[in-house]
Amino acid sequence: MRSFKPLFSRALAAAPGRLHFAAHSHHLWPDASYEGQLQAWDDAAALADKKWDKIFGALIPEAQAHIARELALPESSTIAFAPNTHELLVRLISARKPGPIEVLTSDGEFHSFRRQAARWAEQDRVRLRIVPCEPFESFTERFLAAMAEKAPDIAFLSHVMFKSGLRFDGAEALAAYAAPDRTWIALDLYHSFMAMPADFSAVADHVFLLGGGYKYAMAGEGAGFIHAPPGFAPRPAYTGWFADFVAIEQKQQGVAYAEHGGRFLGATFDPPGSIASTPCSKCSRAKGSIRRRLQRTLLICAQRLRRRSLRETPARCATLRCSAPMRKAGKRASSRCATRALRLGKPN
């Protein structure tokens, strides 16, 4: 059996007796992320202010290209980075016209969106329509039915729900409602990015995609990203000077924005998070092998669950739910079971 332990030698050596089953949480970082952090400091020391030339000229384009490959996006310039996805969410909402914003969402969203949306609703800045996740089997159909009943200003939902592992399978049908001057669609990918195969090429021109490096990407904090489709949200009100970085030394006339994903950039940020995600992409082939083994384990789990009819006894299944990303039959799941079952290699 091939071992992937050398990719994580520092994290494993830091706590030799630990067995880390994180699922939707802090994954152990590969050694490549350590190298990225050191490189960030070395660049700051050697280049001073000119480090930004390297960051925007080489490192960020490489990180953009890695994310675009992972999501099968036709262009990488549509991707912008921020310290976290919450900042990008606020920037997205700020791009709508003033007044109450109609938002269609689910009751399974992660805390950052759930809390912020609830606070906006208290101020009547947004008006929420919430589709319950349960029953899981009909969620995608019920969410699309809610769209058909009344298209909102923004539809925001997770691709995979953090609590249940429920997967939304209607991205293409949802994208059909998107238009720059009407409905915007945003998918939160944080709990699916780098955990399962993804191909958003068919909806890339119509759907916002948000994600980050903290969880399955194993790049750590500070590397939130957004894919912003062309023509949508051209002028976020919550903006920073990096959103027109290339024109900063020119004569300023009005508030200009980059035409690509850079329009979602904010102000000065601590670059190691984005920099660390770049060397992490260099071990993506190994992570792909890990993921393929995960998928095989997930399919085996799903088959065994079906054979034993455990779906009829939720109490017994509470710690055994595991998604089969290659099959719709497993879409109720999370990756907890597979994470427990996956071995990074033979024990030392």
Q: At what angle do helices 272-281 and 60-71 cross, to 10 degrees?
A: 50
Whether 284 contacts 292, CB under 8 Å: no
Whether 85 contacts 190, CB under 8 Å: yes
Lowest mean pLDDT among 49-53, 150-154, 171-175, 334-338: 334-338
Lowest mean pLDDT among 4-8, 178-182, 219-223, 333-337: 333-337
Burial of 240 (0-12, 13-18, 19+ CB in 10 A): middle
Report DSSP letters for 42-85, one per residue.
HHHHHHGGGHHHHIIIIIHHHHHHHHHHHHT-S-STTEEEES-H
Mean pLDDT across the stretch 318-332? 36
Tokens 């995608």 appear where? 140
pLDDT in tens, 24-81: 778 888 888 888 888 888 999 999 999 989 988 998 999 999 999 999 999 999 999 9
| Domains of the chain listed by start with CATH number | 48-281 (3.40.640.10), 285-348 (no CATH)
Tokens of 94: 């700020």
Cross-sheet strand order for the sheet of 79-82: 79-82, 224-227, 207-211, 184-188, 154-158, 101-106, 126-131
pLDDT in tens, 164-217: 999 999 999 999 999 999 999 999 999 999 888 899 999 999 999 999 988 888
Q: What is the DSSP letter of 231?
A: T
CB atoms under 10 Å from CB of 262, counted, come to 21
**Residue 33: closest CA among 214, 226, 211:** 214
Would you state the pLDDT for residue 85? 95
Q: What is the distance between the alpha carbons of residues 104 and 126, in angstroms, rounded to a whole number?
A: 10
pLDDT in tens, 113-127: 999 999 999 999 999
One-letter amino acid identity for 238? Y
pTM (2 d.p.): 0.82
